[in-house]
Amino acid sequence: MSWLNLRNYQLDAIENLENGKILCGGVGSGKSRTSIGYYYKEQDGDLYSEEYVPMNDPPQDLYIITTARKRDTKEWEGELTPFLLSTNPEINLYENKVVVDSWNNIAKYKEVKNAFFIFDEQRVVGSGAWVKAFLKIAKANNWILLSATPGDTWMDYVPVFIANGFFKNKTDFTSNHVIYSRVVTNFPKIDGYYNTGRLIRLRNKILVDMDFKRKTIAKHEDVFVDYDILTYKAAGRDRWDPYKNEPILNAGGLCYVWRKIVNSDISRQTALMELFEKHPKMIIFYNFDYELDILKNLFEETPVDVAEWNGHKHQEIPDSDSWVYLVQYNAGAEGWNCIKTDTIVFFSENYSYKVMQQAAGRIDRLNTPFTELYYYHLKSKSGIDLAIARALKEKKKFNETKFAGKNFEKR
């Protein structure tokens, strides 16, 4: 028995990892522990010994670039402990530097050389400051990248392809593989890709999949609720915001109003409270601040502990017999775990399939005591709720302009 007790699929992933590869595993598969295991092996540690075998001292400096939440909650420190590594030099067994920091600060490490980087939660998409810093770091250091969902389109892989030397730059990639639309717009629109056989081979070369068999059974249930049909139709017909009492100027504004009409309906609140009677420990995901106000008011008169994670508050999950944890998607869809409950309610759904998957994974962990996990999707049969659900089913991102743009064509 190995001293670390890694599962076979984690050990297999470590054996297949190399510099510049992406460790791809579903949410809750143990990518963090596996990635440090790979670092430990690369520094001449022995994963298969019955007792801990020290690495070469000093091993390479270790930099972990992760989400702000994972940094702040010190989740990575817990993963480092079995390897006798710590960000605290007084506790760290070795003379090397161990740093855990957020993607927001990646530029601080552009000049680091001859170190080992673990890039947690894929953020190297596009061509912004994070990508530029990543590419500079990748040239001078050893690195791997961790991701549950490594890419929705081929463009998502471009920075990693460049870092691996497959292409000189983004222009090199687009000239060889991208088909642009002939329709003239402010921003070039991609119609498709060619020579995709080569792209598939390159992707397979850098992806290391974790063959993770879940013991949990995810039970997703759609809970349909009512909405104010007349107000909903009037907003689309008149392009008028009944909340601000002013014209709606674009597709994004119309979608926001439509969503507020359906998300604010009293029937949605009633359905939530009925679910809470069955599940007294519950995580609730929401999108907008007005939803947070509704949820807080809803539980204000009940004997239940309420905590929040959003752009305003960063509270911990309550430790009591009855609680609700109100989480805003953008702030809390990733980077934390909970094994205290088996229930998540999506008070409203997010536009992104990737974000929805990350949110669902908060309770689907290797060490959860639950076998069956319950996911309730509150939705109406309004046009916008059905369109969002359809996009998510197709593993796509809902497009406001495509859905509501026709309302702003010249009349």
For domain 8-209, say whether CATH 3.40.50.10810 is its number.
yes
221: helix, coil or strand?
strand
What confidence tier does 182 reach under pLDDT thresholds 50, 70, 90?
confident
pLDDT score of 185: 65
Would you state the pLDDT for residue 278?
95
pLDDT in tens, 48-102: 998 999 998 899 999 999 988 888 888 899 999 999 999 999 999 999 999 999 9
Q: What is the pTM of this model?
A: 0.71
Asked if residue 377 has pLDDT above 70, the reply is yes
**pLDDT for 212 beyond 90:** no
Mean pLDDT of 122-127: 69
Domain range annotation of the chain: 8-209, 217-408
Q: Which CATH architecture has domain 217-408?
A: 3-Layer(aba) Sandwich (3.40)
- Partnered with residue 224 across adjacent β-strands are 379
* Distance set, CA 406 to CA 38, 237, 254, 311, 391 (Å): 52, 11, 11, 33, 18
Pair type for strands 240-241 and 246-247: antiparallel
Is it true that 8-209 and 217-408 share their CATH fold? yes
- Number of residues in the chain: 411
**pLDDT of 150-173, one tens digit each?**
777 888 899 999 999 999 999 999
Per residue in 135-146, pLDDT (tens digit) is 999 999 999 999
Which residues contact residue 165 at a Cβ distance below 8 angstroms, ignoring those fewer than 6 apart?
A: none
- Per DSSP, the three-state class of 237 is helix
Q: What is the pLDDT of residue 40?
A: 97
- pLDDT > 90? residue 211: no
Percent of the chain with pLDDT over 90: 72
Mean pLDDT of all residues in the chain? 91
Q: What is the model's pLDDT at position 411? A: 47
Identify the three-state secondary structure at position 155. helix
What is the arithmetic mean of pLDDT over 213-240? 94
CA-to-CA distance for 14 and 103, rounded, in angstroms?
Answer: 24
Render pLDDT for 28-56 as a digit per residue (tens, 0 to 9): 788 999 999 999 999 999 999 989 999 98
